[in-house]
Amino acid sequence: MLPARQGDCLWLTYGASAAHHLIIDGGPEKANSLRSAILARIEAAPDRTLHIDLLVATHIDNYHISGTLPSTAGR
């Protein structure tokens, strides 16, 4: 579980020979938990890439999905 403060943001990694990544919800935008987790995993990867196999949004309440949407700040 990523620290979403409100709502949910779950990251699952599975696979023995190759890592697969599944994200369930993104938490609220203000928590910035999903973005931070993605950036940290890219930094840690030997080839500095990350492939997310599946993103699941359980429902579209802001506190579940805003963290998966592009920021509109400054627009």
User: Does a structural domain hold residue 41?
Assistant: yes
User: Does a structural domain hold residue 3?
Assistant: no
Q: What is the pLDDT of residue 73?
A: 54
- C-alpha 65/C-alpha 30 separation (Å) is 11
- C-alpha 24/C-alpha 14 separation (Å) is 14
Positions of E strands within 2-51? 10-14, 20-24
User: Does a structural domain hold residue 5?
Assistant: no
User: Does a structural domain hold residue 22?
Assistant: yes
User: Does a structural domain hold residue 57?
Assistant: yes
pTM recorded for the entire structure: 0.83
User: Does a structural domain hold residue 43?
Assistant: yes
- pLDDT averaged per 10 residues in sequence order, the chain, 75 residues: 88 92 94 92 92 94 89 55
Q: What is the pLDDT of residue 6?
A: 84
Total of domains in the chain: 1
| Domain enclosing residue 48, as ranges | 10-68
User: Does a structural domain hold residue 2?
Assistant: no
User: Does a structural domain hold residue 56?
Assistant: yes
